[in-house]
Amino acid sequence: MATSESSAPPQDTTNSYVWLAVFLLLTASLSLLWSHVRLMWFDEFLSFYSDGVSTFHQVVLIQLHHPISLDPPTYHLLSHFCMDVLGRNATALRLPALAGFLLFQVCLFFFVRRIAGSRSAIIAVALPLLTASFRYSVEGRPYGLLLGIYALSVLCWQIATLDDGVPRNRILPLTGLALSIALAITSHYYGILILIPVTLGELSRTLIRKRLDAGVLTALALGLSSIVLILPFQHALLAYRQHYYSNGVDLHDITLGYFELFIHYVAPSVVFAKLVEAIAVVLTLLLGYAGYKRFRHRPATEHAYTWVALTSMALLPFFGYLFGRYVTHTMAVRYVIAALFPFAAILAIVLERKLRSNSFYYRTLALLFVAVIAVNALNIAEERRESNAILARLQLAPEASAAVHQSPTEPIFIQDFNYFYLSTYYNPDPTLRQRISLLYSQQQELRWLQHDTLYVTAVNLLTFAPLSGTSYADFVHNPKPLVVLRPGGSMSWISNQLEASHTEVKPIAPGLGGRLVRLTTQPAPAP
């Protein structure tokens, strides 16, 4: 039951704004530095080529008719705008994600400050920088933006439902609530889950107050109505659905959904991975118990429905599992990244009474500041090593270079989609980049991979991107072509097909992410 507090938490308003600015500047600096050393990867290239066309109209047309990045258009339009301003590069592509993460921190600050004071709010702002979710500020996909939009929706709902006896104009927070819901829904198909925390929070508020709030219900309805805007874009995905690549959805996605919000870690063994996950579960349960105790002893001015919204948001991985299991048939941790908001908020709120001590507060603040720099310096250094390793694999060994330059106009076929993108974008030799051709085949993909996602992507990609592609049916007519093989790749079928068709190959040398070979007999046509 709620109790009144004898003393309010210290606000330190001016000081807290300074610290907020410090952590926002730190976030932007670390994210941009990380982005500078990080290469684009498969999904980012899908966005890069979709968003890097000439006009906003073309972006919309691609998402309507030839989508390769399977999202509604909002993020793509934002990244296209950034590319118009900053040029066609990875930093511009990723800028909306960084803006979303900064918005998330700002909303987290004001949300927590209203409940537990300025000191808890600053701690809440710093905590996400120590989690694995910070990497989504460095990824040119909608997830960092979604994080900010979810946070904005909860903050706007909190402000719109204030019940402190002070008259105020609610037009701005209600407009923000409707707009944030619409932006989430039109940014990602899992954005519809944004309705869960605010709807359940408002439902509990209605039951407590025993009356409806017409303003909030109108904002929710207006936000939800944006779903009609994405229906044409959803129709464009029908080509992918018949044989779509998916690992399915199972209950392990729920625990993984929590674990990978905080830790990006590859364990040396399955046993050790299970141990780390078990520790994470225990810590999560302890935080939940501490949050429950704080809820039971909350101040009289702190309403229960705020905690209903927070708890609902913390359960997003469960709701994401149900949505993936029965609606989309695919699920990933990044789709429910907004669950980070309640964890950061609750931990900061739980610490509120301890943070009233100046010594504890400033020690905690200093520790967080140093930890954020140290942890992300390690992340950036590791990213640089990984990027350098990938770039090294793209280099041609001397024998491969000699073979490639022996016939300066001969095409080089790559079937691995990721290394096709990497080679055509990051290879320093522009003449070599122009010779690389993507090899694709619906029949071979269905035969060897049991899906045709890459085939549909290739067909759509080649309708608008300045890249070269060749179907397997045309490839078999090339006399003794040069091919880059990556045996064992989860998305590779060309090695299996050449072996099954008894095509003889002459290994040359490593290069372009695999091993360059020349076919010495004619490859067999598709069966």
- Higher per-residue confidence, 301 vs 92: 92
Say if residue 376 is in the same domain as residue 424.
no
pLDDT class of 244 with cuts at 50, 70, 90:
confident
Residue 300 has a pLDDT of 73
pLDDT class of 147 with cuts at 50, 70, 90:
very high
Give domain status of residue 283, yes or no: yes
Give domain status of residue 63, yes or no: yes
Lowest mean pLDDT among 28-32, 269-273, 469-473: 269-273
Residue 469: pLDDT above 80? Answer: yes
Say if residue 285 is in the same domain as residue 327.
yes
Give the model confidence (pLDDT) of 333-372 as tens digits. 889 999 999 999 999 999 999 999 999 999 999 999 999 9
Say if residue 480 is in the same domain as residue 499.
yes
Say if residue 175 is in the same domain as residue 243.
yes
Residue 242 domain boundaries: 20-386
- Higher per-residue confidence, 244 vs 107: 107
Tell me the one-letter amino acid at 355.
Answer: L
pLDDT class of 8 with cuts at 50, 70, 90:
low
Give the model confidence (pLDDT) of 57-88 as tens digits. 999 999 999 999 999 999 999 999 999 999 99
User: What's the 3-state SS for 320-335?
Assistant: HHHHHHHHHCCCCHHH
DSSP annotation of 134: G
Average pLDDT over residues 479-504: 87
Residue 271 has a pLDDT of 62
pLDDT class of 215 with cuts at 50, 70, 90:
very high
Residue 6 has a pLDDT of 43
Say if residue 236 is in the same domain as residue 144.
yes
Give domain status of residue 15, yes or no: no
State the Cα–Cα distance between residues 44 and 5, nearest whole angstrom: 49
Residue 112 has phi, psi (to 5 degrees) of -70, -40
What's the domain count of the chain?
2
Residue 10 has a pLDDT of 55
State the Cα–Cα distance between residues 117 and 521, nearest whole angstrom: 74
End position of a domain, from candidates 363, 386, 409: 386
Report how far Cα 416 is from the mean position of its chain's Cα atoms.
23
Residue 53 · residue 79 · CB < 8 Å: no
Say if residue 265 is in the same domain as residue 307.
yes
Tokens of residue 149, six digits: 């939009």
pTM: 0.93
Give the model confidence (pLDDT) of 366-382 as tens digits. 999 999 999 999 999 99
State the Cα–Cα distance between residues 245 and 153, nearest whole angstrom: 32
Say if residue 378 is in the same domain as residue 399.
no
Q: What is the mean pLDDT of the chain?
A: 90
End position of a domain, from candidates 339, 362, 386: 386
- Higher per-residue confidence, 303 vs 52: 52
Q: What burial class does residue 236 get, using C-beta atoms within 10 Å of its C-beta: 0-12 exposed, 13-18 middle, 19+ buried?
A: middle
Say if residue 293 is in the same domain as residue 400.
no
Average pLDDT over residues 118-136: 95
Residue 165 has a pLDDT of 63
Say if residue 108 is in the same domain as residue 88.
yes
Helix%, strand%, coil% for the chain, nearest 5: 70, 5, 25
Say if residue 356 is in the same domain as residue 504.
no
Give domain status of residue 12, yes or no: no
Residue 261 has a pLDDT of 82
**What radius of gyration do the chain's Cα atoms show?**
26
Give domain status of residue 4, yes or no: no
Residue 151 has a pLDDT of 97
Residue 1: pLDDT above 50? Answer: no
Give domain status of residue 223, yes or no: yes
State the Cα–Cα distance between residues 380 and 9, nearest whole angstrom: 37
Residue 139 has a pLDDT of 95
Residue 246 has a pLDDT of 72
Residue 218: pLDDT above 90? Answer: yes
Residue 9 has a pLDDT of 60
Residue 270: pLDDT above 70? Answer: no
Lowest mean pLDDT among 13-17, 140-144, 402-406, 428-432: 13-17
Give domain status of residue 256, yes or no: yes
Say if residue 72 is in the same domain as residue 201.
yes
Residue 5: pLDDT above 50? Answer: no
Sheet holding 505-511, edge to edge: 468-471, 436-440, 412-414, 482-485, 514-519, 505-511
Say if residue 269 is in the same domain as residue 355.
yes
Residue 483 has phi, psi (to 5 degrees) of -135, 140
Give the model confidence (pLDDT) of 437-450 as tens digits. 999 999 999 999 99
What is the percent of the chain with per-residue pLDDT over 70, rounded to a whole number?
A: 93
